[in-house]
Structure 1
Amino acid sequence: MMIVNEQIKASEVLLTGIDGEDLGIVSRSEALALAKRHNVDLVCLSLMSSPPPCRLVSRSAAKQDMNAKKQSEKRNELSQKTKEIRLTPHIEEHDYDTKLRQIEKLLEAGKAVELNVRAQGKESKEAKALLERLLADLKGKGNKETGIQVSGKGAIVKLLPAR
């Protein structure tokens, strides 16, 4: 949400001019008058500081900035999707090769992969060994974000694509 003109309630604002020049701390009414004089809007950049930083910009430029920021956040969020691959400690060789190819494709596509080996009781050592083997086979394709986490239910490791 964008806070503009009369929506700004602070008595003083830290003002930045149209061309990015620093105009210092001015009263809200003075800033609004300046905005009217130059036929632009007074846009609040953040409510987290006192006085709030504000800028004189055309409304269309401010909306474009906001939309660009939202799109880049969305793009970053999408690229951080994690795909979970589940395995068992007693995996057969051809199934292992299939999973390995699947993981390689996901990493090459830029997706993060969480490898989850389900194990019960004493199988946790085998689960950890399987993950270590997978990590060795995936060397250069992905980097560990976390170490191998072993629990009573199995072992998990998260891989990020190598960039």
Structure 2
Amino acid sequence: MALLMNENIKASEVDLLDLEGQSLGIVSTNEALQDAKDQKVDLVCINIMTSPPQCQLISRGKAKQALQAKDKSTPKKEKEIRLTPTIEAHDYDTKLRQCQKLLESGHPVALVIKLSGKQGQAAKSLLEELIADLKPYGKPATGIQLSGKQAAVTVLPL
């Protein structure tokens, strides 16, 4: 999410709030910027959906810190790792390392095996083996889901 601050605010006037959040009324953007400079603070747009946009005077750097903290708290996107039930040892090791790196960086991993014919039991045992090998890095969110065309399980980071 982009943060509209100081000279990036293009509206001609803003609904200004002071450092404590008290309304100072509707003022021209230039006047609000001058107030911010005088008080050595940033003018930050907190609600662009109103007319005029609502802006607040915030201590320098606080707005960016709050935005970074918000970014860190959002959950990471799930990554999908595709396998086949007849995987070779080297390929298995490669996929295992890939899963470990993703789990260590905080991403949930969806392990998916596409099935053809009667490979359901082989796929299930492969997923159980992967889950066991990934135990130090994550835990399964649910049990192994076996449907007609695929076997899947999601592993969440610890």
Distance 1:43 1:141, change over 3 A: closer
Deviations 1:64-89 (A, max 9, x none): 9459847984x789x6472624131x
Q: Which runs of 5+ in 1 are unaligned?
A: none
Match of 1:155 among 129, 151, 154: 151
Alignment-derived partner of residue 106 in structure 1:
101
Alignment-derived partner of residue 54 in structure 1:
55
Cα pair 2:103 2:109 within 8 Å, conserved: no
Q: TM-score, normalised by structure 1?
A: 0.58
Cα pair 2:140 2:153 within 8 Å, conserved: yes
Alignment-derived partner of residue 27 in structure 2:
28
Q: Distance in 2 between matches of 1:109 and 1:67?
A: 24
Deviations 1:5-38 (A, max 9, x none): 772366x62x332xx2222261234x75354355
Cα pair 1:143 1:160 within 8 Å, conserved: yes
Q: Distance in 2 between matches of 1:38 and 1:120?
A: 65
Q: Aligned partner of 1:22: which letter?
A: G
Between Structure 1 and Structure 2, which shows a larger proportion of helix residues?
1
Q: Distance in 2 between matches of 1:119 and 1:57?
A: 56
Match of 1:121 among 117, 121, 124: 117
SS in 1 for 2:48: coil
Deviations 1:85-108 (A, max 9, x none): 4131x456x458735752564256
Q: TM-score, normalised by structure 2?
A: 0.59
Alignment-derived partner of residue 87 in structure 1:
84
SS in 1 for 2:154: strand
Q: Which runs of 5+ in 2 are unaligned?
A: none
Distance 1:43 1:95, change over 3 A: closer
Distance 1:27 1:140, change over 3 A: same
Compute the RMSD of aligned alpha carbons: 4.3
Q: Aligned partner of 1:39: which letter?
A: K
Alignment-derived partner of residue 8 in structure 1:
11
Cα pair 1:143 1:161 within 8 Å, conserved: yes
Cα pair 1:107 1:141 within 8 Å, conserved: no
Q: Percent identity?
A: 29
SS in 2 for 1:122: coil
